[in-house]
Copies of this chain bind each other. A is one copy, B any other.
Amino acid sequence: MRRDAPLSSDEPAEPLYRQLAQRLSDGIEQAGLGEGSRLPSVRTLAAQYGVSLTTALQALRWLETKGRIEARPRSGYFVAKRARRSKRTSVEGVSGEASDKLAHRWSDPPPELDSQARDHLAMVGEPCAVRFDLASAEPSLYPIDRFSVLLRRLAYQHRDLVGSHVRGAGYPALRREIARQAMQYACELDPDELVITNGCVEALNLALRAVVRPGDVVAIESPAYFVLLQMLRALEVKAWPIPCHPETGMDLHALKEAFAHVPIKAVVTVANGNNPLGSVASNAAKEALVKLLRERDVPLIEDDIFGDVCFGETRPAPVRAFDTHGNVLLCGGFSKSLCPGLRLGWLAAGRFTERVKALKYTTSMATAELQQAAVAEMLASGGYALHLRRLKAALRQQLTVMREAVLRYFPDGTQVTDPAGGFVLWAKLPALGSRAISTRTLFELARAEGIGFAPGHLFGEGGAYDDCLRLNAGNQWTSELEAAVERLGVLARQAVRDDGRSLP
């Protein structure tokens, strides 16, 4: 690859990274680099072309989206295989017919993955040594041995759980147990309105599809759980961000404002153990939210997956507990609180139950019953409260230690949440001098060293939260984790942006 000719800086319209990308692409061609040839590292490129790490990375990503090169985890970038390149090109050829595209708003092909989706898949799709990325606790914090016993007994005694055609809303005993649990925090659920889902993500998906249509606008908290943002985009539903405060939750004043100007069709909230903020809204705020939406006849979708792992004296009530009109679609699940591997969630859909049942049938038909029966027995047998106490104590302690480490090792001025529940910390990094830190760049740098975390841009739109990141505290604290936080602090100082800077 030729690196001798200097990059030109007299074309301000072309972003820096695109200039560099073009140069690299030409270089690959001219040097006749074959598929699989390794490209120089991000650092090397940045130094050679006198650009920041961010710009070098953007150039590589651009070539990656073009199918010209490919990233390999922890190895770097390589010239892509020819097959992959031509496939991509043909896909682009189809979507590139702009005239046709504009003429038929609803007949474009589904959009290509955006950079959020790609980072997202990169994050979850590969092994990494330090998992600060996903909101997951380590298996030792879950009653796995008991599940092992339960599953074995059920697989032996109730072969119909395996052999029979499965239908409908889910295993009746599990639906009853979920309703019984909810009574403990004054939330009345009818087993007949409950639909068991493949994880809480499916519950959210069904809830959304039950109340909004493509093109509609949904108000969400900002920052927001990144899967929700991707889900809305996949459903062609527009997200309307409402600021969310780390201590008090969704800003109801801003929501009211939005109602005055935007045709909002539904609202999504994570009131208990907000992801990523860790906030728990007050009962007064929950009541006010219910009232506000009831007045406007706008349904609320509540994601309560972290409700059982909030740290207060009593389990906080979901917003749904304050609703008497079937207007709240409450989504829950067991992947965070009881057993990550079983992929069980649920949805209590109030007055939308019939619609949700029909959607479930055409989305995945039914959920396998063996694991439903196991969770039902676990809940019925009464050890759940004890397990939760242990899990919450561990999470709380791990969050505290990790928070201290972040404040110690990250650049001065870093702000970090003090969560009232859940698994994660949310940190906002300061500017270094006049240059903002980009956690997208940090993400790539850390990923190359086997340290995963969730970069802030996943939690917002249009580059929001690029100076933030989410860290998972679900794993037991060790000196390795401490070293990883320290290393992130070092890398953060290198991950500054240089937007708008012209080339040397």
- Residues of A in contact with B (beta carbons under 8 Å apart): 87, 90-91, 94, 104-110, 112-113, 117, 120-121, 124-125, 134, 136, 139, 142, 144-145, 147-148, 151-152, 155-156, 159-168, 197-199, 201-202, 205, 209-216, 227, 230-231, 234, 236, 263, 265, 297, 326, 335, 339-344, 351, 354-355, 357-359, 361-371
Q: A110-B211, A214-B106 are in contact. Are A343 and B367 (CB under 8 A)?
A: yes
> For the complex, what is the distance from the CA of A326 to the CA of B87, rounded to whole Å?
9
The 10 closest A-B pairs by CB, nearest first: A106-B215, A139-B163, A144-B163, A136-B165, A231-B362, A198-B364, A151-B155, A214-B214, A343-B368, A202-B364
- Is A361's CB under 8 angstroms from B121's CB? yes
Give the shortest distance, in Å, between A52 (CB) and chain B (any CB): 28
Central interface residue in A335, A339, A365, by most chain B CB within 10 Å:
A365
Give the shortest distance, in Å, between A185 (CB) and chain B (any CB): 24
What is the count of identical protomers in the complex? Answer: 2
Q: A87-B326, A94-B297, A213-B236 are in contact. Are A160 and B366 (CB under 8 A)?
A: no
- Is B354's CB under 8 angstroms from A113's CB? yes
Which residues of chain B have C-beta atoms less than 8 A from A142's C-beta?
Answer: 163
User: 13 A-B Cβ contacts within 8 A?
Assistant: A87-B326, A106-B215, A120-B358, A121-B357, A121-B361, A139-B163, A144-B162, A152-B152, A205-B362, A227-B365, A341-B369, A342-B368, A363-B363
Which residues of chain B have C-beta atoms less than 8 A from A168's C-beta?
Answer: 124-125
- Is A234's CB under 8 angstroms from B359's CB? yes
- Is A363's CB under 8 angstroms from B109's CB? no
Give the shortest distance, in Å, between A266 (CB) and chain B (any CB): 10
- Is B166's CB under 8 angstroms from A341's CB? yes
- Is B107's CB under 8 angstroms from A213's CB? yes
> For the complex, what is the distance from the CA of A155 to the CA of B153, rounded to whole Å?
10
> For the complex, what is the distance from the CA of A164 to the CA of B139, rounded to whole Å?
6
> For the complex, what is the distance from the CA of A362 to the CA of B235, rounded to whole Å?
10
- Is B134's CB under 8 angstroms from A165's CB? yes
> For the complex, what is the distance from the CA of A165 to the CA of B201, rounded to whole Å?
14
Which residues of chain B have C-beta atoms less than 8 A from A340's C-beta?
Answer: 163-166
- Is B364's CB under 8 angstroms from A364's CB? yes
- Is B265's CB under 8 angstroms from A107's CB? yes
> For the complex, what is the distance from the CA of A113 to the CA of B156, rounded to whole Å?
40
| With A106-B213, A164-B340 already in contact, 18 other A-B pairs whose C-beta atoms are closer than 8 Å | A105-B215, A107-B265, A110-B209, A110-B211, A113-B355, A134-B165, A144-B163, A152-B152, A160-B341, A162-B339, A164-B341, A166-B343, A198-B198, A198-B367, A205-B364, A209-B234, A343-B364, A370-B370
